[in-house]
C-alpha cells in the first residue's frame, strides 16, 4: 500500500469546509472537543436545542394579549349571559321591595308618641313649643320622617339658631338645638325685647329677663318689618362699637345706655350726664377715639353751653355742638332735660379741618332779646378768659355770631 505525504488539493479543500462547518460560534462550547466527557457533551447539546426552541417560539409565536375568557363567543352563550344578568337584577329589586314593605308595616319602627322624640339644648324654648313641629310624625314609620324639613321648621323658631335631627332605631327621633345668644335690648314702642348678633328679634317675659340678670344697652331703630340683611348690618355696627370701646380693657361700653341705629352709618348714643342726657353722634368707626374725646371735654362744653343737647363727633378734629332750640334754649331748666328739637351746625366739607378740636355754636332761633344780650355777654366773658381765644375764620363768615374755641385733644388714657 502506498502512502502519500500530501493529500490532493481537492481533498484539502473539502476538509477545510468541513472544519469550518464544525467550528463553534462565539460563546458556545464546541461539541466533541478533545478531552470532554460524553455526558457533558450530551448535556451541552440538549441545552443548545432547548435554546433554539425558545428563540424560535419567541420569533414565530409572539405573546398575544389575553382577553376576557368568561365572555361567550357564541350567540347562545351571549343570550344565556343576558338572561342571567336580568335574573340577578330582578331578584335584587324584589328583595328591596320586600324589605321596604316589611319596614313600612313593622310596628317596631313606628313613632308611638311624643315620648319617642328626644330633645337636648332647650333652655329658652320649651318642649311644648318644639313638639308641634313633629305633630304629623306621630304614628308614622321612622324611615319616612322628612328630617331636613323638620330641621328647617325648627330653625324658623326665633330662639333656635341651629338644629340637628336624627333617627334612633327602632322608633325614636333625637333633636339637638343651639339657641341664640341675646346681645342687646330692643325697644319697639312700649315693648322691650332682646336681639341677637344677627338682628333676630327675641321675646322674653320680664320675669325671665330679671332672672337672667341681663345688662345690655337699649337699641332703637330696629323694626320687625325690616329685612333680615338690614337688621344684621345695624347689629354689625353695634358689635363693632362695643368691641372697640372695650378694646383697651376699660369696659367703656358699660357707660352706654341707649343707641339709636336708625342710620347704620351713624350710631347715635344717649350719654347719661348729671341733670341731662347728651346725644352723641359716633358715626360708624373710630368709636374709642371719639368716646375719649367726648369724655375729655363734655364737662367744659356743658359749663360753657348750658343748653347743650347733642355732640357730633364724626368730623375728624372738629366737634359740632348742637343746642336745644325754641323754648328749650331760652329756658335753662327745660334745656337740661335734653328734649325738644335740635338745631344743627355742620362744617363745610370743602374747607380743611383745623388741627385742634374746633367747636362751633349757633344761637337758637326764636330766642328772646334778653337771651341774645345774655349770649353776647357770655361771649365777651369767654373772650377775656385765658382759656378761650377768638379767631376769625371761615366758620365765622359762614355762620353769623358763631365762635371757635381751640381745645386740646385727649391723650390715650382719656384725660384732657
pTM (two decimals):
0.59
Which residues make beta-bridge pairs with 315?
318
The pLDDT value recorded for residue 406 is 44
The pLDDT value recorded for residue 354 is 34
Q: Could you tell me if 280 and 269 are in contact, meaning their C-beta atoms sit under 8 angstroms apart?
A: yes
The pLDDT value recorded for residue 104 is 73
Alpha carbon distance, N-terminus to C-terminus of the chain = 152
C-alpha cell at 390: 377768638
The pLDDT value recorded for residue 403 is 35
Cα distances (angstroms) measured from residue 400 to each of 280, 366, 392: 25, 15, 11
Per-residue pLDDT tens listing for the chain (416 residues): 445 555 566 666 666 667 655 655 555 555 555 555 545 555 555 656 656 555 555 554 445 455 556 677 778 888 888 888 899 999 899 888 888 777 777 788 899 999 999 999 999 999 999 999 999 999 998 988 999 999 999 999 999 999 999 999 888 999 999 999 999 999 988 889 999 999 999 999 989 998 999 999 999 999 989 999 999 999 999 999 999 999 999 999 999 989 999 999 999 999 988 888 899 999 999 999 999 999 999 999 999 998 999 999 999 888 999 998 753 433 333 333 333 333 344 444 333 333 333 434 333 333 333 444 444 445 444 444 333 322 223 232 233 333 333 445 555 444 43
The pLDDT value recorded for residue 320 is 93
C-alpha cell at 90: 330582578
Cα radius of gyration (the chain): 50
C-alpha cell at 138: 306621630
Cα distances (angstroms) measured from residue 406 to each of 102, 293, 297, 317: 88, 13, 11, 10
The pLDDT value recorded for residue 26 is 55
Domains observed in the chain: 109-179 (3.10.20.310), 182-407 (3.40.50.11690)
Helix ranges (H only) for 305-415 are 327-330, 332-335, 369-384, 394-398
The pLDDT value recorded for residue 188 is 84
Q: Could you tell me if 362 and 399 are in contact, meaning their C-beta atoms sit under 8 angstroms apart?
A: yes
Pairing of strands 182-188, 276-281: unpaired
Quickly count: other Cβ atoms within 10 Å of residue 149's Cβ: 12
The pLDDT value recorded for residue 289 is 94
Q: What is the dihedral of CA 278, 283, 285, 286, to 10 degrees?
A: -40
The pLDDT value recorded for residue 108 is 85
Amino acid at each position: 500500500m502506498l502512502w502519500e505525504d500530501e493529500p490532493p488539493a481537492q481533498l484539502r479543500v473539502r476538509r477545510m469546509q468541513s472544519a469550518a462547518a464544525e467550528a463553534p460560534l462565539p460563546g458556545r462550547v464546541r461539541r466533541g472537543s478533545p478531552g470532554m466527557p460524553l455526558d457533558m457533551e450530551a448535556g451541552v447539546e440538549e441545552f443548545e436545542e432547548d435554546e433554539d426552541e425558545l428563540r424560535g417560539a419567541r420569533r414565530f409565536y409572539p405573546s398575544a394579549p389575553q382577553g376576557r375568557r368568561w365572555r361567550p363567543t357564541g350567540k347562545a352563550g351571549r343570550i344565556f349571559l343576558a338572561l342571567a344578568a336580568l335574573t340577578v337584577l330582578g331578584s335584587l329589586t324584589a328583595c328591596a321591595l320586600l324589605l321596604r314593605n316589611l319596614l313600612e308595616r313593622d310596628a317596631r319602627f313606628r313613632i308611638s308618641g311624643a315620648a319617642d322624640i328626644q330633645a337636648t339644648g332647650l333652655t329658652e324654648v320649651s318642649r311644648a313649643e318644639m313638639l308641634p313641629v313633629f305633630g304629623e310624625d306621630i304614628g308614622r314609620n321612622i324611615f319616612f320622617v322628612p328630617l331636613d324639613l323638620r330641621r328647617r321648621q325648627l330653625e324658623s323658631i326665633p330662639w333656635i339658631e341651629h338644629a340637628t335631627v336624627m333617627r334612633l332605631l327602632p322608633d325614636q327621633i333625637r333633636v339637638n338645638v343651639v339657641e341664640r345668644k341675646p346681645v342687646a335690648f330692643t325697644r319697639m314702642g312700649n315693648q322691650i325685647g332682646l336681639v341677637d348678633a344677627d338682628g333676630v328679634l327675641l321675646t322674653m317675659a320680664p320675669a325671665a329677663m330679671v332672672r337672667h340678670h341681663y345688662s345690655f344697652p337699649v337699641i332703637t331703630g330696629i323694626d320687625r318689618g325690616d329685612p333680615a340683611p338690614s337688621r344684621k348690618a345695624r347689629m354689625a355696627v353695634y358689635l363693632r362699637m362695643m368691641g372697640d370701646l372695650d378694646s383697651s380693657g376699660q369696659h367703656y361700653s358699660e357707660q352706654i345706655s341707649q343707641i339709636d341705629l336708625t342710620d347704620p352709618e351713624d350710631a347715635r348714643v344717649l350719654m347719661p350726664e348729671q341733670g341731662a342726657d347728651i346725644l352723641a353722634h359716633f358715626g360708624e368707626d373710630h368709636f374709642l377715639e371719639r368716646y375719649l374725646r367726648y369724655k375729655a371735654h363734655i364737662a367744659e362744653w356743658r359749663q360753657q353751653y348750658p343748653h347743650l343737647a347733642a355732640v357730633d363727633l364724626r368730623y375728624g378734629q372738629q366737634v359740632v355742638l348742637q343746642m336745644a332750640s325754641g323754648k328749650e334754649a331760652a329756658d335753662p331748666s327745660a334745656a337740661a332735660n335734653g328734649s325738644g328739637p335740635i338745631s344743627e351746625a355742620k362744617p363745610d366739607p370743602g374747607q380743611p379741618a383745623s388741627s385742634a378740636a374746633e367747636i362751633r355754636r349757633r344761637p337758637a332761633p326764636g330766642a328772646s332779646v334778653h337771651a341774645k344780650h345774655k349770649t353776647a355777654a357770655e361771649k365777651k366773658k369767654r373772650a377775656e378768659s385765658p382759656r378761650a381765644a377768638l379767631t376769625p375764620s371761615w366758620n365765622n363768615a359762614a355762620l353769623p355770631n358763631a365762635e371757635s374755641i381751640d381745645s386740646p385733644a385727649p391723650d390715650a388714657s382719656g384725660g384732657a
